[in-house]
Amino acid sequence: MKVKVRIAPSPTGFLHIGTAQSALYNWLFARKNSGDFYLRIEDTDKERSTKEYEQSILDSLEWLGLKWDGNVVRQSGRMDKYKAAVGKLLAEEKAFYCHHTKEELETERKTQEENKEPPRHVCNDKDREQGKIAGGIIRLAVEQETISFDDEIRGEIKFESSLLGDFSIAKSPDEALYNFAVVVDDADMEITHVIRGEDHISNTPKQILLYKALGKEMPKFAHLPLILASDRSKLSKRHGATSVVDYKKDYLPEALINFLGTLSYTFSKEILTKEEMVEEFELAKVHKSGAVFNINKLNWFNSQ
C-alpha cells in the first residue's frame, strides 16, 4: 500500500508556521516511505477564503521546498461529492434531518451547561423517524459505543460516542460541514495517514464514525504537538509573527526548515538539511508535548 499524506490549509490567512511544520513532517514521512504528499485547499468558507491567500500558501510551501505531488485539490470543486455522500447516508438512514427548533437546542444546551455536561444534541428514535422528512440540519445517527484509535505518536486514545451526540454533518444536502467534507476528501484521496496538529484530536472520533458510516477504509492518525508561545499558550498573532511570509524577508528557508524540524523531533545532529531529516524520520519519534517557539534559536539557525 502506497503511503499518501496531505496537508489541508484553509485560504483564510497566510501559511501559519504550525501548518508549515505539519507540512514538513508530512513531507518527511512521505519521502521516507516513497509515498505521496498532497495539498488540499479547504476553501468552503466563501466569505473568508481568498485567492490571494491561496496563492500565498502555495508560494510559501514552494519557498520552503515542500513541493506537493499531483494537482492541488480544492474543496470548492468537490461539492457534488459531498452532496452524493450526504444523500447516501440519508438514504441508508444513517443520517437524518433534525427538526428541533433553535429554542429547543438552546434550552438543551443551557441544561447541559448547568449540569456541567458537554454540549451535544441527542435525538430519540421518534425524532430520527421524523428525520426522514426533508428540512433542517442533517445529523449522523450516533449509537452508544467507545471509539478508540491508536495514534501513531500518542498511542491509544478513547472517546465515548455519547459525548458527541448526534452531531451535525451538513446544513443541507448542498452544504456539508467541516468534518464531513474532510472524511469524504481523505477517503477519495486514499489518504493512508492523517498527520495533523493536536488541536484536531477532538475531530478524530467524529471522523472515525463517519468513515464507518460511509463504509470507507480508515487511515491511521497521528497528532503533532502544537507550537507554543513562551507562556505555553497556543502561538497566535498576539505573540508576534506567525506566518511564513513574515519570515521570508530576513530568513533563509533552510533555517526555518531546520528550526521547525528540530522543534518537535530530536535528530542525531542539530544542523541538517531536510534530505538528511528524511533518512532519520520516524513518526513514532515525534515529541508528544508542545514546543516553545524561541526566536533566538531561529536566529541562531539562520546565522549558521
> What is the amino acid identity at position 242?
T
**CA torsion angle 114 120 124 130 (round to 10):** 120
Closest CA to 122 of 94, 107, 142: 142
210 binds ligand GLU (CB under 6 A): no
Residue showing cell 433534525 = 98
Nearer to ligand GLU, 39 or 95 (CB): 39
42 binds ligand GLU (CB under 6 A): yes
Contact 288, 226 (CB under 8 A): no
| Catalytic site residue from 237, 248, 249, 269 | 237
In the list 4, 5, 10, 43, the residue contacting ligand GLU (rule: CB under 6 A) is 10
In the list 5, 8, 153, 177, the residue contacting ligand GLU (rule: CB under 6 A) is 8
Question: Could you tell me whether strands 95-97 and 138-140 are parallel, antiparallel, or unpaired per DSSP bridges?
Answer: antiparallel
- Given the rule CB under 6 A, which of 6-14, 27-35, 225-233, 277-285 is the region that contacts ligand GLU? 6-14
User: What cell numbers appear for 95 in the block?
Assistant: 443520517
Size of interface with ligand GLU, in residues (CB under 6 A) = 8
Round to whole Å and give the CA distance between 296 and 290.
18
**In the complex, minimum distance from the CB of residue 93 to ligand GLU, in angstroms, rounded to a whole number:** 28
Nearer to ligand GLU, 108 or 198 (CB): 198
Distances (CA, A) of 273 to 16, 260, 262, 288: 21, 12, 11, 23
How large is the angle between the packed helices 253-263 and 17-32, nearest 10 degrees?
Answer: 80
**In the complex, minimum distance from the CB of residue 263 to ligand GLU, in angstroms, rounded to a whole number:** 18
Give Cα 220 distance to the centre of its chain. Answer: 13
Contact 50, 276 (CB under 8 A): no
- Given the rule CB under 6 A, which of 2-10, 58-66, 113-121, 162-170 is the region that contacts ligand GLU? 2-10
For 157, the enclosing helix (H) or strand (E) is: strand 155-160
Nearer to ligand GLU, 131 or 205 (CB): 205
Nearer to ligand GLU, 120 or 200 (CB): 200
205 binds ligand GLU (CB under 6 A): no
Which residues ranging from 233 to 292 are in contact with ligand GLU (CB under 6 A)? none
Closest CA to 236 of 23, 34, 16: 16
4 binds ligand GLU (CB under 6 A): no
Q: Please indicate whether residue 237 is annotated as part of the active site.
A: yes
Nearest residue by C-beta to ligand GLU? 196
In the list 41, 61, 73, 182, the residue contacting ligand GLU (rule: CB under 6 A) is 182
> What is the amino acid identity at position 244?
V
43 binds ligand GLU (CB under 6 A): no
**In the complex, minimum distance from the CB of residue 232 to ligand GLU, in angstroms, rounded to a whole number:** 20
In the list 196, 206, 223, 274, the residue contacting ligand GLU (rule: CB under 6 A) is 196
Closest CA to 260 of 234, 284, 231, 295: 295
Closest CA to 23 of 253, 269, 257: 257
**In the complex, minimum distance from the CB of residue 19 to ligand GLU, in angstroms, rounded to a whole number:** 6
Question: Which residues would be at the binding site for ligand GLU (CB under 6 A)?
Answer: 8-10, 19, 42, 182, 196, 200
Active-site residue list: 237
